[in-house]
Amino acid sequence: MILTVTLNTALDITYRVPGLRPHASHRVTEVTERPGGKGLNVARVLAALGHPVTVTGFAGGSTGATVRASLAGVPGVVDALVPVAGATRRTVAVVDERTGDTTQLNEPGPVVAPAEWNAFQEAYEGLLAGAAAVALCGSLPPGVPVGAYAGLVRTARAAGVPVLLDTSGEPLRRGVAARPDLIKPNADELAELTGSHEPLRATQAARRRGARSVVASLGAAGLLAETPEGRWRAAPPTQVRGNPTGAGDSAVAGLLSGLVEHLPWPDRLARAVALSAATVLSPVAGEFERAAYEELLGRGVAVTAEADAA
């Protein structure tokens, strides 16, 4: 079982409009709702790849009930979310059908009480006993300590469970110091963490700060990996256009599935890039176009070894 943690779960709502214009009314052509938050997106992709997944984090209010009801219909995903008094947040993505661009609106999430945070930590420690790997994903809701991920990383390491951390800002900075097995920042998050805007130097700096391995998401340019086994760049054979929401989460699913399957790094990166690109072609986060994924893998994701930064 792979465990994904989404402390700030959400109900993802996607609106599609013919063209998005400021200060104007819009006729919505399509609406979709899905359980959201980075870890839930990761879980759905992992389940689609055939890996049993347990999801945990917080859920509350009528929105949380909707999230849990939707999760019940996802084969291969077990719901171990911890209830809170506050209401689970909503996120709204507005897709401009003319340009393909997406505008994202994210609510902050419920205020988590100290007793609720303690209950989660107890549940998390119990779930680790059956986990082959764990992913800690996304933002922290109000009330959760800024060093929360650092503590969760240490708990996983003490249990002997490989841990991937995918967050940003101060929670990432503190979490890296706890020595996770892998972090997956995007270029901006990596630059904020290390102070370097040169990706190769920045990934090396992130490893010096404590991460065992670093895989940086560089958007359309693919992934850059800095690991004890080597350094690689991985890029899709062709550029794709669509909705990028959730593409990074699919990359995390590819990396995690490759980890538990003991694939070599180049194969993990090729899978992650193919999943990420196939997610851009999907209308909603947490899903990917399977035919596109298989075609991208079949055509060959370019994975090349990298030398040290000068």
Distance between CA atoms of residues 224 and 214, nearest Å = 8
On whether the CB atoms of residues 288 and 279 are closer than 8 A, the answer is yes
**Other CB atoms within 10 Å distance of the CB of residue 200:** 18
Residue type present at position 131: A
Q: In what order do the strands lie in the sheet with 89-96?
A: 30-36, 10-17, 89-96, 102-106
- On whether the CB atoms of residues 6 and 27 are closer than 8 A, the answer is no
Task: Kindly list the catalytic residues.
Answer: 249
Written as six digits, the tokens of 92 are 């709204």
Compute φ and ψ for 90, nearest 5 degrees.
-115, 145
Residue found by looking up tokens 């077990």 in the block: 78
Cβ 273 vs Cβ 293: under 8 Å: no
Structure tokens at 108: 């902050």
Helix axis angle, 169-177 to 187-194, nearest 10°: 60
Q: What is the pLDDT, as a whole number, of residue 274? A: 86
**What number of H helices and E strands is found in the chain?**
10, 15
Burial of residue 132, with CB atoms counted within 10 A of its CB: 0-12 exposed, 13-18 middle, 19 or more buried: middle
Tokens linked to 227: 């690991």
Q: What is the pLDDT along the chain (310 residues), one digit of tens a residue?
A: 999 999 999 998 989 899 898 888 999 998 888 898 999 999 999 999 999 999 999 999 999 999 999 999 889 999 999 999 999 999 898 888 888 788 888 888 999 999 999 999 999 999 999 999 999 999 999 999 999 999 999 999 999 999 999 999 999 999 999 999 999 999 999 999 999 989 889 999 999 999 999 999 988 788 899 999 999 988 877 666 666 667 889 899 999 999 999 999 998 998 998 888 777 766 666 677 676 666 667 777 767 777 665 4
Residue 262's H or E segment, with its range, is none
pLDDT computed for residue 111 by the predictor: 96
CB 301, CB 237: distance < 8 Å: yes
And the tokens for 170?
Answer: 């101060």
β-sheet bridge partners, residue 90: 11
Q: How far apart are CA 91 and CA 36, in angstroms?
A: 8
Find the largest Cα–Cα distance for the chain.
54
